[in-house]
Amino acid sequence: MKYETQKTIIANWRNISGGIGGRETILAKLSKLLNGREISYLYATSVLNCGSLSNPFTPVYQGREIDRYLQLHERLFDIKLIIKNSGIGGYLKLKTPVVSIFQDPYYSLFKIVYTIYSQCQESMEHYNSSINLQKKESELSELNIAVSNFMKKEMEETGIRCDKVIPETTDYDKFKILEENKIKRIKRKFGIPLDKTIGLYVGKFIPQEGWETIAKLVKDFKDIFWVIVLTVNADIRPRLPNVKILQEINGNLMPEVYNCADFVVNPSWVESFSLASLEACACNKPIIMTNTGFAWDWWDNRIGIRVKDYKDYEGYKNAVEDMLHNFKYNIQYNPRKVIMQKFPENNFNNAWKKIARRYDAL
């Protein structure tokens, strides 16, 4: 397939090869679905032959360089549609129609870190600049898409109107239930014990993703073996014998990792959707999370236990105890069936194909 034939450009800070995360995963899925070309900040700067920048307002500079690349690209090739992660650029006018995806809850995060300024000064500056970029980008976009009702509400609080909500989904053929014998082989490969209850956390070593809660749970539940999957390298080593840390693991291995777990804990302060929780459910693993992302206005007890407030450590502790109790008395969860019905892959695919056809980009 020739490069020139691609009608859709998908722009994000980084692509899936640059890091594992919900934004990267969903935009990579869109690129495959719409036969689009992914553009990252590093790719844009390599084409423009300008150096990468690092400072407290990196989103401003990165967005500018991505927009500069897009202006060059649309002069050289006949593209029909640009899909952007929200907050990229917004100050340079593009001739090609732009659809923005809102999947970064900067406003909620800003409100939280504002109360703990001394610990999160750089994060507060980052979120504040990103909120302003989201506003500018929304003004130049022809269509603003939220990934959940929570994100739609979040954007309304900043004065941004999202035209449509298209919930995220996952590849249910990839994230699925594996056979018990295969799970045993996978556990041996990762050094995970076969005779322990396995709790899993997927995230970053930062306060915003609930690391303090996980650290407390590890200490309070020593009979549980905890697998910590860090999506970026944090250069840390476990001090306790009931912990295994996996860093920068290949995304293709995540279905194997989920299948090693008995349950998954997501104590993140704020989630735009919570793709990791969805992927865990797709592998039929019950989850513990707070009322954010897709869990903000919907919950089904067959997928796990919802905690009311991310600050409520006792709530998370009680949820783990309740889950262990349910395991002991064979009280069944059925997350895969429930989540596939709630967030079917076809709904996501059809909604985005409809948008692409509107701009003759498919």
pLDDT at residue 104 in the model? 95
pLDDT over 60 at 118, yes or no: no
CATH 3.40.50.2000 intervals, the chain: 3-169+344-358, 180-342
How far is the CA of 142 from the CAs of 100, 221, 358, 359, in angstroms?
8, 50, 12, 11
Region 61-65: mean pLDDT is 91
**Exposure string for 124-135, b = 16+ CB within 10 A, e = fewer:** bbbbbbbbbbbb
* Secondary element (H or E) of residue 243: strand 243-247
pLDDT over 70 at 267, yes or no: yes
pLDDT at residue 251 in the model? 86
Instruction: Work out the percent of the chain whose per-residue pLDDT is above 70.
Output: 94
pLDDT at residue 125 in the model? 82
pLDDT over 90 at 54, yes or no: no
Region 83-90: mean pLDDT is 94
Residues 286 and 265: their CA atoms lie apart, in Å, by 9
Contact 230, 247 (CB under 8 A): yes
Report the candidate in 152, 189, 179 with the shortest Cα–Cα distance to residue 167: 152
More confident residue, 122 or 346: 346
In this predicted model, what pLDDT tens digit does every residue of 158-191 receive, in sequence order? 999 999 999 999 999 999 999 999 999 999 999 9
Q: Nearest 5°: phi and psi at 346?
A: -60, -40
Specify the pTM. 0.94
In this predicted model, what pLDDT tens digit does every residue of 278-313 receive, in sequence order? 999 999 999 999 999 999 999 999 999 999 999 999
Contact 136, 157 (CB under 8 A): no
pLDDT over 70 at 92, yes or no: yes
Region 46-56: mean pLDDT is 74
**Structure confidence at residue 30 as a pLDDT band (50, 70, 90):** very high
Residues 330 and 323: their CA atoms lie apart, in Å, by 10
**Structure confidence at residue 1 as a pLDDT band (50, 70, 90):** very low
pLDDT over 80 at 131, yes or no: yes
Region 105-123: mean pLDDT is 80
The torsion defined by the Cα of 348, 349, 352 and 354, in degrees rounded to 10, comes to: -120
Q: What is the mean pLDDT of the chain?
A: 92
Q: The domain 3-169+344-358 is classified under which CATH number: 1.10.150.310, 3.40.50.2000, 3.90.550.10, 3.30.565.10?
A: 3.40.50.2000
Could you say which architecture CATH assigns to the domain 180-342? 3-Layer(aba) Sandwich (3.40)
pLDDT at residue 19 in the model? 56
Region 212-238: mean pLDDT is 91
Region 233-257: mean pLDDT is 88
The torsion defined by the Cα of 117, 123, 129 and 130, in degrees rounded to 10, comes to: -130
The single-letter DSSP state of residue 332 is: P
In this predicted model, what pLDDT tens digit does every residue of 327-350 receive, in sequence order? 999 999 999 999 999 999 999 999
pLDDT over 50 at 2, yes or no: no
**Structure confidence at residue 223 as a pLDDT band (50, 70, 90):** very high
pLDDT at residue 140 in the model? 94
